[in-house]
Amino acid sequence: MTNHKLTKKVLRFIIDNSVTLLFAALCIVGIFASQEQPYMLVSLLLERMTRNTFLVLALLIPVVAGMGLNFSITIGAMAAQVAIITVAYLQIHSGVGTIWAFVISTPLALILGKIIGKLLNKTSGQEMIASMITGFFADGIYQLIFLFFAGTIIPMTGDFVLSTGVGLRNTINLMKDDGIGKAIDKAIQVPFFTCLIIFGLFVVFYYLGVMLVRRIKLSAEKEHLMKLLAMIFSAIDVILIVLAVAIVLFKKSIIVKGKFDGMDSILIGIYLFTTLGALLIGYLINKNNKQSPVKNILIIVVGIVLVVYSYQVMYSSNISHDMQMLKTVNLSLLTAIIVVLFAVFNVIILKTKLGQVFKTVGQDKHIAEVSGIKVNKIRELAIMLSTLFAAWGQIIFIQNLGTLNTYGSHKSIALYAVAALLIGGASVSKATIGQAFLGVLLFHTLFIVSPKAGLHLFGDAQIGEFFRQFVSYGVIGVSLGLYAWKTMIIHKKE
Amino acid sequence: MNMIKKLGLPRIIIILFFLSLWVTAGVLKLYLPDYLTDSMIRIGMNLILVLAMVPAIRSGIGLNFALPIGIICGILGGVLAIEFKVVGFEGTALVGLGGFLFALSIAVPLAVVFGWLYGILLNKIKGSEMLVSTYVGFSIVSLFCIAWIILPFTSDEMRWPIGKGLRTVVSLESTFGEFLNKLWAIDLGKVSSSFRGLIIPTALLIFIAFVCLIYLFFSKTRIGIAMKTVGDNPKFATAIGLNVNGYRILGTILSTVLGAVGMVVYAQSFGYLQLYQAPLMMAFPAVAAILIGGATAKKATITHVVIGTILFQGLMTISLPVASTFFLEVAEFDGGNMSEVFRMIVQNGIILYALAQGGGSND
């Protein structure tokens, strides 16, 4: 590769990812300016990532289906809050209550999603602004229900209701009386850096494996054998997961202290080994995603650094006090697993036939119509799914907060989710899971550090708070503006 | 039936609601002259902000959700009037005129500059104006949240006694607060005791009528007609040699300037300047009002502005006392904040209706 070509490539990369890079730079400046304790930073960020990512992922399907960023996920959040209020009011406790919240919110979100979908179909071309206004409108209805119908038309009494007997209180404490507060988060708590060691090792071994097997060619007979092996590995995986779930259910909550006893390590070892095996065989058989060896080596190096650093944090006594604190950072493993599984689900669904239909509709409505796809129905389905996922995401979000702000918890959901996704490098017509994760990471880093950075840089924490609000609105404005500009240019060229 | 179709169901519901609320107010024996006075002031206070939608719609950029840009210019005018203690004509009936004019003289040039820049932006994003403008408006408001903290204002009337920055609400009492409301106000209570409390804010009504007339005059000029042509049919306008982008910028500037003037009038009627987050959502009531009046995202007239503002503000004025009295009698609770919820539903319902009616009109 010539030097010139490389410069061009780097420039291209910078231009294509300008928003993300800008925010990465802002985050780094912010972290230094805020002088935040590493412990606080890591634990706050981890908490925010586990509780917010699901909501951001709820935005993906409408983007693929060509409906842009679905600002009406607020309505999904409202459906979740209706469910949470119901569960809390009926005093259904912790785990069971959480499951009921999911169950109750599901049909509600689907029905609301259907209505929104129908509405947005009528405003074709202006879906995003319409979805935003729909959110505001629904907020009015929501307030009407809980401020005036609760206690009058809907028979509700007791603690929840204001002293006048009409309308719900502003905040509902979900931690009290074994409520659903932190029910998912508390289920399994694991030291974060132990997880990182395991994760890092997994990544390193996977990519080493990939580098080893990428040259192997299989005969048909051997391929058959490999498939069988993969199935056995997967079966062991499933059994182990069921076992783990059973343990969680019986023990109610597991708090791992960072040291595993013999049995645990063996089980985890087996799990990792079988998963790795299954994944590698999958790679070997498909072999369609050929990655460059440079990239592989890079990932392996990053993985090793991660493992070494995490190991230092967890087991070395020769480190500074700040670093020692990091030992106590806990990951809510169950929440994290739910989020990761949901991300995987998104990948899978986009690879199925339905996913292809979404993509076709997103690329060109007319072509989709001609090829026999019921475009409006598919668009409605996309919004229904998005609303449903937003509802589930909101349950995860609220159980983490532990209190429900009856009239406020849903308000800025869409704003923050959309801003995070755009910061990750997504656009109106293209968004990936990776962008969602990266976006949440950057956006919430900025969110955590900006008040303190404002305090240290300008002597006022408020400036930082307003700054992060400005950033949320600004990034949406800029991204949407840039997108509209690009489409206009393409339109003109045609 | 034809009439229903032409007006659209939401508008009919709103008109019926408007009538029934005022009738209910009478039945509940609320003292109507007070509310009529209130309505007149609120109509005067909001009308120019609603009028700001007209040039935007006419020049083809659609509903101007970025009204906060103009509003911020208006606020800057007001804030500077306090900072430099401009009052003018103290001791005469015209006290406050100086401050009012000073605020306008700051706000309007600023609005021209901002409107021009914003117009250039809008020409680059044709087809997505409404969505982008909403977020541009939001961004400007939150940017100025920072500005209110760091700008070096010195007036004690505006600064927090301790700490940095300006207060969230600044009184205009010492400059031009309620200047137009009170000027030449006619108290009908003096004519007949049955009208006690009914005060006509003459100067306010004259001022808004004056602004509307200027705009009406402008729309009859060659430039005004050309701008409308550009909005109605850009392709035709290009064909006959009109500078489409130029007229769109002109429409944006006019809209922003009217927003700024509207804000100064709004602030003087209200008696206070609300800083920080207050202007964030101020575009939405204005958009809703003109839509209630019968405008669409493509067509708007001054009649729409007047009818819409009267209906929307009249509705808002009367809904609060009716709701609180009604619910106090029927269900024994204070329904006071019902009117706020009600506003949200009406306001966003009508915008949504307009968007759904425009179905697929992005070309």
pLDDT at A255: 52
Q: Give the ipTM.
A: 0.88
Contact state of A148 with B128 under an 8 Å Cβ cutoff: no
Q: What whole-number distance in Å separates Cα of residue A3 and Cα of residue A11?
A: 12
pLDDT at A290: 62
Angle between helical axes of B32-51 and B9-27 (0-180°, round to 10): 150
* B9 part of contact set with chain A, CB < 8 Å: no
Find the closest chain A residue to B133 by CA distance. Answer: A477
* A86 part of contact set with chain B, CB < 8 Å: no
Chain B partners of A143 at a C-beta cutoff of 8 Å? Answer: 341, 344
Contact state of B142 with A126 under an 8 Å Cβ cutoff: no
Top-ranked range on mean pLDDT: pick from A310-314, A440-444, B4-8, B338-342 = A440-444
Regarding predicted confidence, which is higher, A55 or B199?
A: A55
Q: Measuring CA to CA, which residue among B268, B262, B237, B191 is closest to residue B48?
A: B262
Q: What whole-number distance in Å separates Cα of residue B155 and Cα of residue A27?
A: 36
Kindly report which listed range (A17-31, A318-332, B203-217) carries the lowest average pLDDT score.
A318-332
The CA–CA distances, whole Å, from B190 to B79, B185, B194, B195 equal 36, 12, 10, 8
pLDDT at B295: 86
Find the closest chain B residue to A480 by CA distance. Answer: B132
Distance from the Cα of A18 to chain B's closest Cα (Å) equals: 19
* B185 part of contact set with chain A, CB < 8 Å: no
Distance from the Cα of B31 to chain A's closest Cα (Å) equals: 26
HEC string of chain A equals CCHHHHHHHHHHHHHHCHHHHHHHHHHHHHHHHHCCCHHHHHHHHHHHHHHHHHHHHCCHHHHHCCCCCCCCHHHHHHHHHHHHHHHHHCCCCHHHHHHHHHHHHHHHHHHHHHHHHHHHHHCCCCHHHHHHHHHHHHHHHHHHHHHHHECCCECCCCCCECCCCCCECCEEECCHHHCCCCHHHHHEEEEHHHHHHHHHHHHHHHHHHHHHHCCCCCCHHHHHHHHHHHHHHHHHHHHHHHHHHHHHHHHCCEECCCCCCHHHHHHHHHHHHHHHHHHHHHHHHHCCCCCCHHHHHHHHHHHHHHHHHHHHHHHCCCCCHHHHHHHHCEEEHHHHHHHHHHHHHHHHHHHCHHHHHHHHHHHCHHHHHHCCCCHHHHHHHHHHHHHHHHHHHHHHHHHHHCEEECCCCCCCHHHHHHHHHHHCCCCCCCCCHHHHHHHHHHHHHHHHHHHHHHHHHHCCHHHHHHHHHHHHHHHHHHHHHHHHHHHHHHHHHC
Please state the φ and ψ torsions of residue A250, each to the nearest 5 degrees: -80, -40
Give B 290-349 residues with CB within 8 A of chain A. Answer: 331, 333-335, 337-338, 341-342, 344-345, 348-349
pLDDT at A224: 82
Q: Measuring CA to CA, which residue among B294, B298, B293 is closest to residue B314?
A: B293
Element (H or E) spanning B272, and its range? strand B272-274
The two structure tokens encoding residue A271: 């799990």
- Residue A255's DSSP bridge partners are A189
Distance from the Cα of A142 to chain B's closest Cα (Å) equals: 9
Question: Pairing state of beta strands B272-274 and B169-171?
Answer: antiparallel
pLDDT at A263: 67
Contact state of A123 with B127 under an 8 Å Cβ cutoff: no
pLDDT at B69: 93
Regarding predicted confidence, which is higher, A293 or A310?
A: A310
Please state the φ and ψ torsions of residue A403, each to the nearest 5 degrees: -130, 145
Instruction: Tell me the pLDDT tens digit for each residue of A166-224.
Output: 888 888 888 887 788 888 888 778 888 888 888 898 889 888 888 887 777 777 777 78
pLDDT at B360: 39
Contact state of B145 with A466 under an 8 Å Cβ cutoff: yes
Residue in B124, B148, B355 to test binding to A, most A beta-carbons within 10 Å: B355
Q: Is the pLDDT of residue A94 over 90?
A: no
Q: What whole-number distance in Å separates Cα of residue B275 and Cα of residue B171?
A: 11
Contact state of B348 with A152 under an 8 Å Cβ cutoff: no
Q: What percent of chain A has pLDDT over 90?
A: 28
Distance from the Cα of A137 to chain B's closest Cα (Å) equals: 5
Regarding predicted confidence, which is higher, B77 or A162?
A: B77
Any idea which residue has 């039945």 for tokens?
Answer: B27
3-class DSSP state of B170: strand
Q: Measuring CA to CA, which residue among A234, A436, A209 is closest to residue A339?
A: A436
Top-ranked range on mean pLDDT: pick from A34-43, A93-102, B90-99, B103-112 = B103-112
Give A 124-143 residues with CB within 8 A of chain B. Answer: 124-126, 128-130, 132-134, 136-137, 139-141, 143
- DSSP annotation of B186 reads E
Question: Pairing state of beta strands A330-332 and A254-255?
Answer: unpaired
Q: Measuring CA to CA, which residue among B33, B38, B65 is closest to residue B270?
A: B38
Distance from the Cα of B158 to chain A's closest Cα (Å) equals: 17
pLDDT at B363: 34
Q: What whole-number distance in Å separates Cα of residue B113 and Cα of residue A282?
A: 61
pLDDT at B361: 40
The two structure tokens encoding residue A365: 């409505």
Q: What whole-number distance in Å separates Cα of residue A309 and Cα of residue A326?
A: 11
Contact state of A485 with B284 under an 8 Å Cβ cutoff: no
Q: Is the pLDDT of residue A376 over 60?
A: yes
Q: What percent of chain A has pLDDT over 70?
A: 95
Distance from the Cα of B297 to chain A's closest Cα (Å) equals: 12
* B15 part of contact set with chain A, CB < 8 Å: no
pLDDT at A258: 47
Residue pair B276/A470 in contact (Cβ under 8 Å)? The answer is no
The partner residue sitting opposite B358, judged by closest CB among A126, A136, A140, is: A126
Instruction: Tell me the pLDDT tens digit for each residue of A247-298.
Output: 766 665 555 544 555 666 777 788 888 888 888 887 777 765 566 778 888 8
Q: What whole-number distance in Å separates Cα of residue A155 and Cα of residue A149?
A: 9
Angle between helical axes of A73-89 and A413-423 (0-180°, round to 10): 130
| Dihedral sign of CA atoms B18, B21, B27, B32 in order | negative
Q: What whole-number distance in Å separates Cα of residue A412 and Cα of residue A268?
A: 39
Q: What whole-number distance in Å separates Cα of residue A179 and Cα of residue A94?
A: 5
* pLDDT, average across residues A310-330: 82
3-class DSSP state of B166: strand
Chain B partners of A479 at a C-beta cutoff of 8 Å? Answer: none
Q: Which residues of chain B have pLDDT under 70?
A: 1, 3, 93, 330-336, 358-363
pLDDT at A112: 95
pLDDT at B335: 66
Residues 6+ apart with CB under 8 A from A153: none
Residue pair A335/A396 in contact (Cβ under 8 Å)? The answer is yes
Question: Pairing state of beta strands B199-200 and B272-274?
Answer: unpaired
Q: Is the pLDDT of residue A418 over 50?
A: yes
Span B13-357 CATH architecture: Orthogonal Bundle (1.10)
At A327, the pLDDT band (50, 70, 90 cuts) reads confident
Residue pair B205/B41 in contact (Cβ under 8 Å)? The answer is no
Contact state of B164 with A474 under an 8 Å Cβ cutoff: no
